Amino acid sequence: MPYSQFTINKVKQDFHLSTVEGVRFFPDSIERITPSFRLQGILDDLPWANAVDTEKARSEVIINPVLLEVRRIFNSSISVFSGEEFNVDASIGLNGVCGFLLCRSPEQLTVEAPAIVIVEAKKSDLKSLLGQCIAEMVAAQNNSYFFHFQIVSKRDYLKVEKSTFYYLFCT
């Protein structure tokens, strides 16, 4: 069963997860990075991507350019994958394609841990995608990966730590 088949209830039941909502789990201070002129120019199309409101528009105008900017900041010492197979354990449903993966390794041939998994909502429909997101986080956790999820005009952050699923909505 691919990640996309998981619902919130199924993933919580199958992996025995409890939920904690509204608790901030980021460090108090995170250094701000000024985007390059190149990225700023690409992000000028953000209103268009939000208006079109498709997964493809968001990935082309927002997610991929930001991940490639991160790769440039790290002097290509990390790798970026798009639409990559992330098969961890098919017997328990932890398999399928991930929207984006950002890995600590510079190797572009294979996904290597640790990595960040980025999933984007289709038509900003967060609720229908949470099961998939949580399943990918469980897979990432089982392989020393970390997961972050973000929607375009809203920001939602998810984290799985041991048997707890944390959900933080930021306006």
pLDDT in tens, 152-168: 345 677 778 888 888 87
Q: Which two tokens stand for residue 44?
A: 């000028």
Whole-angstrom Cα distance, residue 115 to residue 105? 9
**HSE toward the beta carbon, residue 61, CA cutoff 13 A:** 18
CB 130 within 8 A of CB 4: no
Q: Where are the domains of the chain?
A: 3-26+77-170
Determine the pLDDT at residue 170: 65
Whole-angstrom Cα distance, residue 166 to residue 42? 32
25-41 in b/e form (b: 16+ CB < 10 A) is eeeeeeeeeeeeeebee
Q: Give the DSSP per-residue string, 25-71.
A: -S-S-----PPPHHHHHHHTTHHHHHHH--HHHHIIIIIHHHHHHHH
Q: Are strands 164-170 and 18-21 parallel, antiparallel or unpaired?
A: parallel
Determine the pLDDT at residue 27: 75
More confident residue, 150 or 114: 114
Coil, helix or strand for 149? coil
Model's pTM, two decimal places? 0.78
Lowest mean pLDDT, pick from 14-18, 54-58, 113-117, 122-126: 122-126
43-58 in b/e form (b: 16+ CB < 10 A) is beeeeebeeeeebebb
